[in-house]
Amino acid sequence: MMSINDNTPVGALTVGQLKEILAVEKVEPITQVQNFTDNKYIYGLKGIRDEFAVSHATAQKYKDGILKEAVQQVGRKIIVDREKAHQLFANSGRAL
């Protein structure tokens, strides 16, 4: 049996050896778990559109511009802190 070290190509391993290595090196993904179930948050571009009564294109501009500090985006999921978004919107000098 060959010795397995950091320089061993993955293609040279058997399925059993790979499973064994993955079981030993099991790494937990780093995730931040936050509770987004209350009315404190706006979800998605539709939420921004409804909250600020703007078009889809304008909601995208707001998300990337004046509301950027209130937006958390992971992949396709967009979550906006409603209170912070309203503060940023008011500070921008725009009216609802």
pTM, two decimal places: 0.58
β-sheet bridge partners, residue 23: none
In the predicted structure, residue 82 carries a pLDDT above the cut 90:
yes
Q: What is the DSSP letter of 43?
A: E
Domains observed in the chain: 41-91 (1.10.10)
Tens-place pLDDT, residues 44-66: 999 999 999 999 999 999 999 99
Contact 53, 38 (CB under 8 A): no
CA angle 83, 60, 50 (to 5 degrees): 55
